[in-house]
A and B are shown apart, each in its own frame.
Chain A
Amino acid sequence: MSRPRRPLIEVREIESLRAELERQADTLAPRWNADPEDVQKSVARLVLTLVEFIRQLLERQAIRRMEGGTLTTEETENIGVALMRLEQTVRDMAARFGLAPDELNLDLGPLGRLL
């Protein structure tokens, strides 16, 4: 196998790639430790991250079931409403603790795709 060829990209482009990888690097270590300065916010962040993670799994499964035709019209509607409310709730609660949506992030690898 030959060595990778040097890409021809601009400095500005390297910067955005670097920024994107740095964003992903922030989720590299799935370790949570309560910040002693603000235990409450740390706990909220962990809890909401887990809820958000589960919400995403539920959403993905619901979409898969909807596409697969294994949900009735009523089930689809009810699940959709529930997910909509869940997303709003997570967002509201995060805001209350001063957490931005992209702080609710914990890289668990491809766990979501195990479904």
Chain B
Amino acid sequence: MTTPSRAAARQILETADDSLLDLVDNLLNRGVVISGEVLLGLAGVDLVYLRLTALLCAADRVRPRGEP
């Protein structure tokens, strides 16, 4: 799985007129993000897919206070 390249985004921004800027902002910075993940790699090769949504949650919602 790949993600939109930052180089492409910057390229648009360089030539964007004002009507395009808000479109860029809405589509690339907002909207539902249904995965929070990081791709780790070496030498340009993606090797590891780290899905953080599964790892992190508020502790007091997982275990009531006072339990070990």
Give A residues with C-beta under 8 Å from B.
Answer: 4, 6-7, 9, 14, 17-18, 21-22, 24-34, 36, 46, 57, 61, 64-65, 70, 106, 108-111, 114-115
Contacts and interface: CB of A to CB of B under 8 A. Distances in A.
Contacts of A6: 18-19
Contact of A4 (B22, B35, B37, B52): B22
Contacts of B42: 33-34
B33 A29 contact: no
A115 B57 contact: yes
Interface residues of B, number: 40
Interface in B29-65: 29, 33, 35-46, 52-53, 56-60, 65
Contacts of B56: 57, 111, 114-115
Given A70-B60, A109-B36, A29 B53 contact: no
25 contacts: A6-B18, A7-B22, A9-B18, A14-B17, A21-B13, A21-B25, A25-B6, A25-B9, A25-B13, A28-B28, A29-B4, A29-B6, A31-B46, A32-B39, A33-B44, A33-B45, A33-B46, A34-B42, A36-B43, A65-B60, A108-B38, A110-B36, A111-B52, A111-B56, A115-B58
A115 to B, nearest CB: 4
Given A18-B13, A21-B13, A111-B52, A28 B3 contact: yes
